Amino acid sequence: MAEKTEIALNLQNVNAGYGDTQILNDISFAVKKGERLAIIGRNGVGKSTLLNTMMGLTDMHSGSVELFGNEIQNLPSHERARLGLGLVPQTRDIFASLSVEENLISGARNNGRIEQAFSLFPRLEERKKNGGGQLSGGEQQMLSIARTLMGEPRLVMLDEPLEGLAPVICDMLMDVFEKLASDGKHTIVLVEQHAELAMEFSDRMLILDNGEIVFHDETSKVRENPSILERHVGLGIS
Ligand SMILES: Nc1ncnc2c1ncn2[C@@H]1O[C@H](COP(=O)(O)OP(=O)(O)OP(=O)(O)O)[C@@H](O)[C@H]1O
Ligand SMILES: [Mg+2]
pTM of the model: 0.94
Q: Is the CB of 47 under 6 A from ligand 1?
A: yes
- pLDDT score of 3: 59
Q: Which residues surround ligand 2, an ion (CB under 5 A)?
A: 47-48, 90
Nearest to 202 by CA among 215, 214, 211: 215
- pLDDT score of 194: 85
The protein residue whose alpha carbon is closest to atom 2 in ligand 1 is: 18
Ligand 1: residue of 20, 39, 42, 47 to mutate (most ligand atoms within 8 A of CB) is: 47
Domains and CATH numbers, the chain: 1-84+156-238 (3.40.50.300), 93-152 (no CATH)
Q: What's the CA-to-centroid distance between 156 and ligand 1, angstroms?
A: 20
- pLDDT score of 4: 61
CB 177 within 8 A of CB 190: yes
Ligand 1: atom nearest CA of 160 is 27
- pLDDT score of 32: 97
Q: Model confidence over 71-87: pLDDT tens digits?
A: 999 999 999 999 999 99
Helices (H), the chain: 47-55, 77-82, 100-106, 113-120, 122-126, 137-149, 167-181, 195-201, 219-224, 227-233
Total Cβ atoms within 10 A of residue 44: 11
Q: Model confidence over 118-133: pLDDT tens digits?
A: 999 999 999 999 999 9
- pLDDT score of 235: 61
- pLDDT score of 76: 97
Q: What's the CA-to-centroid distance between 55 and ligand 2, angstroms?
A: 14
- pLDDT score of 175: 95
DSSP string, 86-115: EEE-TT----TTSBHHHHHHHT-S-TTHHH
Q: Considering every ligand atom, which ligand is closest to the CA of 22?
A: 1
Residue ranges in the chain modelled with pLDDT below 70: 1-5, 111-112, 235-238
Angle between helices 137-149 and 113-120 (to 10 degrees): 140
CA dist., res. 202 & res. 214, Å (int): 17
Q: What's the CA-to-centroid distance between 194 and ligand 1, angstroms?
A: 18
Q: Is the CB of 27 under 6 A from ligand 1?
A: no
Nearest to 46 by CA among 84, 13, 18, 9: 18
